[in-house]
Structure 1
């Protein structure tokens, strides 16, 4: 947890103010019992009204000052904790945005969400307690002990006997609770994962009539978290009764032996009252420390989980001396490229070499798992290759700043991804400053204008989270419009026409030809009809480039391509 405190630097002055205010508040708390003792012994017992009024006035001022300091400390500590939480969430999000796709898969989306929200909140809450108690508890404990010894040395041995017992109880209970607090966060991750899958996959769940199964999965994960939370809270709940028992026993002992000393004339009534308050302060300061220990284990577990994410060094980083791509526009070249996914038995792509030029359409086709989507993911550098070179404009992509590299591209993913907001905002996601004319032209080219105008508010219509209020074909067309409005040098269409009917597909490809004449275009497709007129077709089979050329050339020279064509033509004729 201490590692995260480096992010508190912007709040150094506020933290210093909290410590000063808490210090002054603690001093007032320690000083008040002494004033009360003087009022009783010097004023009430002797009947000195003037002394009672003057000492009472001082006591009132000290109490008011302590209250003002307490309010100020609460205000500043809350501001520091909330700002710290905001900073941690920002650091996590910014850091995670640099992750490669492999690192996202490694940590898991559900876990990343939990760490950014729940874990950060745990640290935020405990920080408030630390700021308030780190100074107050030790100061009140030490100050109370000193003042108690000043009031009466003999009675102080009761405190000397009570404090070690309290510390032992706290140590035993926290020793059992800390490992369980760590496990609670793991169980929370599991619950979030089940919940995320249950909500995002609701259509599949209902179509296979697996609602009851998913309810059982959720109930099991929920019950697991509940049982563990109950267990750890039962352990922690035992702390308070033990603390109060020791506190009450100490109080009885102080009153018993204190009354004896008063009868003997060795102690005054006011001193006993002050001693009793100091004893309460000492034991309550230890109680506050124990409350901090209740929060610390869970916050410590949360801090470890956040540090785990922040400690992950992104696999893909800009080199120390990044290069700008030269004056060429859209040239893409693969030179003997081999790529493997971490832990895979064999490479996903092996010794791939080809060149794609502006004004040309490069189509990629092959069976399931052939490596089509993997190949195009290497162009924007979503992954780093094992060997060879991927060049854009004659510069290795590893030597180009990632931002500059991706500015050259318009990417349409295999699974259309839309964001909550309006239709216009989703199209302008490709180019933030796109004019109304540019946006509408992109929608026209993507064959999206017709269904957009039929929506309630046209381009201002709201899109639900994940685009659930649109069909698959509509989502694909908006994704294509988002890429088109950018007017990039390189277009990448990853099976982006699969949800379109043949008529819309044909109209879209005809409209695209006019828009992409000067750009380099990559099309991953399952339909042969989509890529037959491509300038070059790459045929992949189990990660190998088994054919490259135009449609007619491949029909003569590539067995894999012929099999794909014949299977599809036969299917179309039957239909």
Structure 2
């Protein structure tokens, strides 16, 4: 996972190299200061030689200033590299998600993907910046300071080895128990984000049903779960600080006691003793820094796993080599097709679908909830792949086409009619970025949207709020149909896309389709028989199978399901 993520450093490799290099310069100059100080004391102060004091004092000032400059440059380069790395990571995640098939998307929640691109990437960014600076500074300071102490007095320096062994054992135990908790924490973040997203998206429904208190309780529960897990992790991490304190004061006491004896015995000078105490502080601070780094890295490793999971997810639907780049016509052929959303499903969603649809034909699709209507049409633009059998569009297997080419020729208006923030023109041009005003107006007239658009003060330049919240459900549906028509597809699929419009508008849309775009193959899913009764043929679906095919009149005679729905809707409506 780490190797895969580090590939996204890309153009920031230079600054990623310069940051630790400058840190090396800072540490080396900083480490020299206590050593120079011992010379000032032993060769200058104790002997009363001011020239030596001024000489080594000037060198110390120059070394301190150089250390400051190197430190500032290291911070600048590390910040630049980590921010760029995070930018590339977010881009890589987002780009990879764009290539996902519906099957890949089904593996993750929307909130989970958002958390990975925000919280998890921020964790990795902070960890990377720490690695470039602290992961160089702490070990290098520790090694250099240890080397200097051994150079000054090897016997006295063995005290630090005991401290390092003790701290290593404590840190290993802390990380072993803390890492799984942090991994669990970020999964709980997904649940919290999902709760917030759902509430904000559906805030009108919440208010309509006076469910504010329920939503607050749900949010508090998700938030409290995160609090409990962080508290549990912190209860483990708190052992880091007392362990460091024990090591620090233990080392200072041991060195002070042993060092005093050595000064009396003449094997250690006063200046060397002061340098040893200063290096003791440096060593222990380095150890403390290392412990903090390890704790931070244990937290970020959980984020690394989650990010790597998305980056390594490859779409199971891709364009083949030497893919077909044109769709001949709008003909469709299902050849004994079975379909299941995953291999774990015991029963397929669709079973033995075998039907041919001629180019330009209008097909109505009727069936109850869960009958497989949406699954049936989702296979045509290859949003999912068939599990068994073959599916042909334009006389060719859909798996032979370039995905972009196929999907541009199969225009689909889904059940959830989504509009994006921007003007009506900008939304319509999702169907065709180069569409002229005349083409947009024509598409809107076919979708019966032109009339209400012109009633807006700004007409086609009217701004649509996010999700289309400032237009009605019926208006939103008609705009989505117009957007789909602008693609000029060979196949048009309407998945219950006129449910929010009145029967007159529904009739006018069907009439426009029949008269103005007869060459386009049209598949219309609807729960209203009035929306599909004039189709060339109607498919009745039940429990993932085709229960009947025929015209409106034929099905009234031969299909019990269709007959029952008709009587419920039409006769019941007449009596009422």
Give the TM-score of the pair, scaled to structure 1: 0.94
Greater mean deviation of Cα atoms: 173-182 or 292-301: 173-182
In the alignment, is residue 40 of structure 1 matched against residue 19 of structure 2?
no
Which residue does 2:215 correspond to in 1? 214
Deviation of residue 165 (structure 1)? 2.3
- How far is the alpha carbon of 1:456 from its aligned partner? 4.9
Aligned runs of 1:17-96 on 2, under 5 Å? 17-96=18-97
Cα deviations across residues 363-396 of structure 1 (Å, max 9, x unaligned)? 2122222221111111011111122221111110
Conservation of the 8 A alpha-carbon contact between 2:178 and 2:237? yes
SS at match of 1:154: helix
- Are the counterparts in 1 of residues 135 and 293 from structure 2 also a CA contact under 8 Å? no
SS in 2 for 1:107: coil
Task: Give the 3 Å change call, closer, same or farther, for CA 43–456 of structure 1 in structure 2.
Answer: farther
Task: Indicate whether 1:279 and 2:280 are aligned.
Answer: yes
The answer for the alignment partner of 1:361 in structure 2 is 362
8 Å contact kept, 2:537–2:550 = yes
Shift of 1:289: 0.8
How many correspondences in the alignment? 574
Counterparts of 1:537-548 in structure 2 under 5 Å?
537-548=538-549
Deviations 1:480-538 (A, max 9, x none): 11112222221111111100011221222223334422211111111111112212222
**Kept after mapping to 2: 8 A contact 1:182/1:297:** no
- 1:9 is displaced (CA, Å) by 4.3
Aligned to 2:380: 379
Alignment of structure 1 residues 336-355 onto 2, 5 Å: 336-342=336-342, 343-355=344-356
Residues 325 and 393 in structure 1, CA contact (< 8 A), matched pair in contact too: no
Q: CA deviation at 1:160?
A: 2.8
Indicate conservation of the 8 Å contact 1:325/1:395, yes or no.
no
Cα distance in 1 between the residues matched to 2:191 and 2:51: 69
Paired residue for 1:300?
Answer: 301
Report the equivalent of 1:574.
575
Structure 1 pair 35/456, CA: closer, same or farther in 2 (3 Å)?
Answer: farther
Q: 1:330 to 1:140 in 2, by over 3 A?
A: same
* Preserved CA contact (<8 Å) 1:332 1:355: yes
Q: What is the Cα deviation at residue 264 of structure 1?
A: 3.9
Q: 1:559 to 1:65 in 2, by over 3 A?
A: same
Query: In the alignment, what sits opposite 2:233?
Result: 232
- For residues 143-542 of structure 1, what are the structure 2 equivalents within 5 Å? 143-325=144-326, 328-342=328-342, 343-542=344-543
Q: In 2 relative to 1, CA 160–543 (structure 1 residues): closer, same or farther, beyond 3 Å?
A: closer
> Matched residues in 1 for 2:59 and 2:458: separation?
70
3-state SS of paired residue (2:69): helix
Task: Tell me the CA shift for residue 129 of structure 1.
Answer: 0.7
CA change 1:485–1:323 in 2 (3 A) is closer
Deviations 1:207-235 (A, max 9, x none): 44433222222211211111221221233
Superposition deviation, residue 435 in structure 1: 1.9
Report if aligned partners of 2:124, 2:304 keep a CA contact under 8 Å in 1.
yes
> 1:43 & 1:470 partners in 2: Cα distance?
85
Contact 1:538–1:549 (8 Å) recurs in 2: yes
CA contact (8 A) 1:163 1:283 kept: no
* Matched-pair contact (CA < 8 Å) for 2:380–2:410: no
| Partner SS state of residue 324, structure 2 | coil
Deviations 1:307-343 (A, max 9, x none): 22233332222233423345x2222222222212323
Distance 1:453 1:180, change over 3 A: same
Q: Distance between the aligned counterparts of 1:160 and 1:530, measured in 2? A: 83
- Bigger drift between 546-555 and 34-43 goes to 546-555
Counterpart CA distance in 2 for 1:567 and 1:321 is 51
Determine the C-alpha separation between the residues in 1 that align with 2:150 and 2:29. 18
Pairwise CA RMSD: 2.1
Deviation (angstroms), 1:299: 0.7
CA displacement at 1:166 relative to structure 2: 2.5
2: distance between equivalents of 1:543 and 1:168?
60
**Partners of 1:184 and 1:252 in 2: CA distance:** 40
Which whole-Å deviations, capped at 9, do the CAs of 1:34-85 have from their partners, x for residues lacking one? 1121122212222322222232222222222222211111111122211221
C-alpha displacement of 1:33: 1.3
Distance between the aligned counterparts of 1:182 and 1:427, measured in 2? 42
Residues 101, 382 of structure 1: 8 Å contact kept: yes
Q: 1: distance between equivalents of 2:477 and 2:250?
A: 73
Q: After superposition, where does 1:1-16 map in structure 2 within 5 Å?
A: 1-3=1-3, 4-16=5-17
Decide whether aligned partners of structure 1 residues 560 and 244 sit closer, same or farther in structure 2, where only a CA change above 3 A counts.
same
CA distance in 1, matches of 2:479, 2:163: 71
User: How far did residue 261 of structure 1 move?
Assistant: 3.1
Deviates more, 1:151-160 or 1:412-421: 151-160
Distance between the aligned counterparts of 2:349 and 2:301, measured in 1? 40
Cα distance between partner residues in 1 of 2:204 and 2:575: 30
Match of 1:138 in 2: 139
State which drifts further: 361-370 or 263-272.
Answer: 263-272
Distance 2:77 2:18 in 1: 7
What's the secondary structure of 1:315's corresponding residue?
coil
On the 8 A contact 1:325/1:392 being kept in 2, the answer is no
Structure 2 vs 1, CA of residues 374 and 32 (structure 1 numbering), >3 Å: closer, same or farther?
Answer: same
Offset of residue 571 of structure 1: 2.7
Q: Which region of structure 1 is more displaced relative to structure 2, 475-484 or 357-366? A: 357-366
Structure 1: 5+ residue stretches without partners: none
